[in-house]
Amino acid sequence: MLPPKQEQIMQKNKRFPLSRRRFTHGSLLSLAGLTLFPSLFASRILAQAAQSPTPMKIGIIGSGNIGGSVGLRWAEAGHEIMFSSRNPDQLGELVAQAGPKAQAGFPPQAAEFGDIVFVAVPYAAMPQVGEDIAPLVQGKIVIDCGNPYVRRDGEMAAVALEKGTGVASAEFFPGVRLVRAFNALSWTEVRDQAHRDGELIAIPIAGDDAEGVAVATQLVIDAGFDPVVVGGLERAREFDQGTEVYVKGMTAREMRAVLGL
């Protein structure tokens, strides 16, 4: 017997066939409005993201509020998840909630396990995490959801915000296909608002790699939200903490209007 949340999603999927439920009108407009990318790039993203999803192996580095809540949504969608922390023996309850396709390990194990790696750690830890897992993530799609806060992370956060977090994070993870996503909403929205009725909450996405953006787009949809592709990593600064769209619970239509997409 499926857990209640997964059963709810399965029933919703039966009511709305793939052609209707994977992309809302707002999602399609979000992808089509890639003003900084060549039209061929936008077409490639549309084509890849619209394909029927297949289960992915996702390693989660940092399984706190946001890593844990996003990981649960992906587990409900059928993906294989390895949650990780410095104390994986403390993740038993999270793994149990996620179901039989989930497991726990240390961060290097999750980095090696995942075809996709989701980094959800306090921003001050990013340089060390990047150094620790660098050999294990070369060429992989790495989704970064971290937010630099000066009051918590110190001067390095101010430097990251000045550069733009997308550009700064890429410096910590050389050799990967970095994408910024899932940073501009709260973990409680992930827990309580996924797959909500009506217009979904939008999640902005930025990345320089076409396949990475396409995969992140699909994972936003699988988590129960509406993807808005903003542009390359340089434009990720437009949804950094403190911006007009950060943790505002906007729909894709509202977000596109604010960002001028």
For residues 117 and 111, the answer to whether their CB atoms sit within 8 Å is yes
Measured in Å, how far apart are the chain's first and last C-alpha atoms?
43
Q: For residue range 108-155, what is the model confidence (pLDDT) as tens digits?
A: 999 999 999 999 999 999 999 999 999 999 999 999 999 999 999 999
Contact call for residues 95 and 115 (beta carbons, < 8 A): no
d(CA 161, CA 128) in angstroms, rounded, equals: 18
In a domain, 9, yes or no: no
Task: Evaluate whether residue 1 is within a structural domain.
Answer: no
The angle subtended at Cα 123 by Cα 118 and Cα 127, nearest 5°, is 85
Q: State the residue range of the domain holding 243.
A: 23-259
Is 59 contained in some domain? yes
CATH number at residue 103: 3.40.50.720
- pLDDT tens digits along 167-184: 999 999 999 999 999 999
Query: Please, what is the Cα angle at 56 between 24 and 167, to 5 degrees?
Result: 75
**77 Cβ partners below 8 Å, 6+ apart?**
9, 53, 222, 223
Judged against a pLDDT cut of 80, whether residue 27 lies above it is answered with no
**Is 52 a member of any domain?**
yes
Looking at residues 174-199, what average pLDDT do you find?
96
Predicted TM-score (pTM) of the model is 0.80
Counted domains in the chain? 1
Q: Which two tokens stand for residue 28?
A: 């399609």
Question: What pLDDT was estimated at residue 203?
Answer: 98
Mean pLDDT of the chain: 85
